[in-house]
């Protein structure tokens, strides 16, 4: 029996600083990945190096993965969900302070690296980590080199319908 | 009891499975039934479970689980579970 080739819409939680967290997609499916590539490089000439729009490189990855967070402003939750139009989500991201955005991007970038490594392991028949167990009784600390100073903690949740 | 709106959606987790136009939810004898116009749908996602009906009611986003779903052309009917928090 072959491996499962559909990406289930599962969400995992990444802890960031000061007790805040972000909820991200465990994996991007083909369409989401294509959307991500199209944002950073809408047009590509075959045979030529890909030209990327630097304004969108980091933001596009965050847009692709992020589905929610615990961030607040003046003690009120900052709205962010896939139910919002993409332009509205982009406006919210662009309103964040730079340190917060970098922290979110760094967490998602590490998550993306981990997701790619797991996908490669699955493809090679090495199994890889389970993408998202239904319930994770205890947080799993993400290990490896970090480009920032934050200690990232990843927990998993079941496929969520609350976003 | 009947509530209605002009737009809503069916969600498969964070994916939009269907975009709804005018909709009505009728509760009779404990059964909550959704009738709506289906504007567009993703054939794969709408076949998945669980699905959630999401709509704005009185300026607040409400969500109901979908227990049963029937689509005939642009006409959608569903039996809904309790409203989710």
- Give the residue numbers spanning the domain of B39: 2-84
- Interface check for B47 against chain A (CB to CB < 8 A): the answer is no
Q: Quote the pLDDT of residue A126.
A: 67
Q: How far is A10 from chain B (nearest CA, A)?
A: 7
Find the mean pLDDT for residues A89-101.
Answer: 97
Residue B72 burial by Cβ neighbours in a 10 Å radius (0-12, 13-18, 19+): exposed
- Interface check for A160 against chain B (CB to CB < 8 A): the answer is yes
Q: Residues A97-138: pLDDT tens digits?
A: 999 999 999 999 999 999 999 888 888 876 555 444 433 333
**Residue A105 Cα to chain centre, angstroms:** 8
Instruction: Phi first, then psi: give them for residue A50, nearest 5 degrees.
Output: -70, 130
Report yes or no on whether pTM surpasses 0.80. no
- If one counts the domains in chain B, the total is 1
Angle, helices A54-65/A98-123, rounded to nearest 10 degrees: 70
Q: How far is B26 from chain A (nearest CA, A)?
A: 23
Q: How confident is the model at residue A144 (pLDDT cuts 50, 70, 90)?
A: very low
Does the beta-carbon distance from B13 to A83 stay under 8 Å?
no
d(CA B14, CA A9): 7
CA pseudo-torsion sign A69, A75, A76, A79: negative
Name which of B13, B16, B61 is nearest A161 (Cβ-Cβ): B13
d(CA B24, CA B59): 16
- Interface check for A82 against chain B (CB to CB < 8 A): the answer is yes
- Count of CA atoms in the C-beta half-sphere (13 A) of A8: 16
Higher pLDDT, B13 or A4: B13
Q: Residues B25-60: pLDDT tens digits?
A: 999 999 999 999 999 999 999 999 999 999 999 889
Q: Is the ipTM of this complex over 0.90?
A: no
Cα of first residue to Cα of last residue in chain B, in angstroms, is 20
Domain spans of chain A, in order of start: 11-156
Find the mean pLDDT for residues A17-37.
Answer: 96
Mean pLDDT score of chain B, rounded to an integer?
95
């Amino acid at each position: 029996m072959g491996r499962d080739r559909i990406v289930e819409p599962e969400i995992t939680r990444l802890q960031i600083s000061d007790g805040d967290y972000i909820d991200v997609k465990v994996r991007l499916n083909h369409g989401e990945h294509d959307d991500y590539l199209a944002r950073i490089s809408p047009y590509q000439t075959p045979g030529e190096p890909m030209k990327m729009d630097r304004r969108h490189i980091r933001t596009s990855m965050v847009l692709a993965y992020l589905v929610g967070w615990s961030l607040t402003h003046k003690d009120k939750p900052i709205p962010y969900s896939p139910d919002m139009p993409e332009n509205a989500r982009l406006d919210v991201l662009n309103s964040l302070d730079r340190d917060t955005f970098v922290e979110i991007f760094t967490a998602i970038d590490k998550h993306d690296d981990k997701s790619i490594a797991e996908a490669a392991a699955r493809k090679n028949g090495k199994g890889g980590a389970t993408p998202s167990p239904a319930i994770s009784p205890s947080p799993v600390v993400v290990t490896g080199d970090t480009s920032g100073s934050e200690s990232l903690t990843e927990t998993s949740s079941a496929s969520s319908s609350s976003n | 009891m009947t509530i209605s709106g002009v737009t809503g959606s069916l969600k498969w987790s964070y994916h939009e499975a269907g975009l709804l136009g005018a909709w009505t939810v009728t509760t009779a004898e404990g059964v909550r039934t959704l009738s709506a116009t289906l504007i567009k749908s993703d054939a794969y996602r709408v076949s998945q479970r669980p699905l959630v009906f999401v709509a704005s009611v009185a300026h607040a986003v409400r969500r109901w689980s979908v227990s049963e779903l029937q689509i005939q052309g642009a006409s959608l009917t569903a039996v809904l579970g309790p409203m989710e928090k």
